Amino acid sequence: MKLISTCAAACALAFTMSLDAQAEDALNHIEDRGVITICADPYNWPHSSSTDYPRGFDVEIFSQIAANNGWRTEIYWSNTGTRGGLGRALRNSIAKGRCQVFAGIAIHPDNVDEIGEKGLIFSSAYLGLAYIPVVDPELANVATLEDIAKHTDIGVAMSTAMDGYLIDNGIERELYLGNRRVLDGLRNRETKAAMVWAPALAIERRRHKESNFSLVDGFEPIVGLRWNVGAAIPQSETRLIELVNAELANMLADGTIESIVTS
């Protein structure tokens, strides 16, 4: 029994060592080929898209990391919107070694558990997502949601978390089917203010360049209605994780990410 236990321990140690060696191989492999492969959702514009150009925030951000290190970027598209959702997308892509990084995942407790089950970990956050107020220019000086509500009913996509928040707080609302129609209503002056999911503004800008909306300066996104975004990386890839986190920190500090998102 002692011999078996010793052999089992030795085998386990050898297996761990092989994983550690493999962990070092990801960055070595990237550097040897001069290519990093990014997984992303093909249908999640403005974050990522296989048909639009530019390819989206997430792809551009990680392409910039590649450029900073003298690498090229390849993309492996993995749809998170199918049956099985994020878990299936991860399982069929990064978990099978199709890419080294899966970009553009909300750092939400459910997602933390999902990626952890697959031996992945989040990078540092590089984007923040939230419901934000968009108003007619005449309301540009208001400061809070409560102030906005004194002037107009607030447009919102029905049956969303934001809709529920307005109901719970007794704020009158104008209901629409989806964020696109919310912004249509604001543009057509059916309402003078709306609470929309931030990425919807990029889509609106592409659809209607003439839209004349104002954001509310200094608005603090509502707790529980805001999430950060990061990338999933295998937990064992410590050198790659450190490099990605350092690059993201530098790009946040020097304004590169802000420039990508707002351009």
d(CA 200, CA 159): 17
Range of the domain at 22: 2-127+227-262
Assess if residue 191 is contained within a domain.
yes
Same domain, 123 and 141: no
pLDDT digits (tens, 9 = 90+) for 15-68: 333 334 444 589 999 999 999 999 999 999 889 999 988 889 999 999 999 999
Same domain, 123 and 157: no
Percent of the chain scored above 70 by pLDDT?
91
pLDDT digits (tens, 9 = 90+) for 92-111: 999 999 999 999 999 988 89
pLDDT at 155 over 90: yes
Same domain, 21 and 73: yes
Same domain, 57 and 117: yes
Q: Give the pairing type, strands 120-122 and 101-106.
A: unpaired
Assess if residue 222 is contained within a domain.
no
Name the nearest CA neighbour of 183 among 122, 236, 114, 133.
133
Assess if residue 41 is contained within a domain.
yes
Rounded mean pLDDT of the chain? 88
Same domain, 171 and 235: no
Q: What local confidence, expressed as pLDDT, does residue 251 receive?
A: 97
Assess if residue 179 is contained within a domain.
yes
Percent of the chain scored above 90 by pLDDT?
65
Last residue of a domain, one of 187, 212, 237: 212
Same domain, 22 and 114: yes
Count of structural domains within the chain: 2
pLDDT at 187 over 80: yes
Same domain, 246 and 201: no
Assess if residue 61 is contained within a domain.
yes
Report the CATH number that the domain containing residue 160 is assigned in CATH.
3.40.190
Assess if residue 220 is contained within a domain.
no
pLDDT digits (tens, 9 = 90+) for 197-223: 988 888 887 788 777 788 888 888 998
Name the nearest CA neighbour of 229 among 197, 190, 207, 263.
197
Most confident listed range (144-153, 169-178, 199-208)? 169-178
Assess if residue 236 is contained within a domain.
yes
Same domain, 71 and 173: no
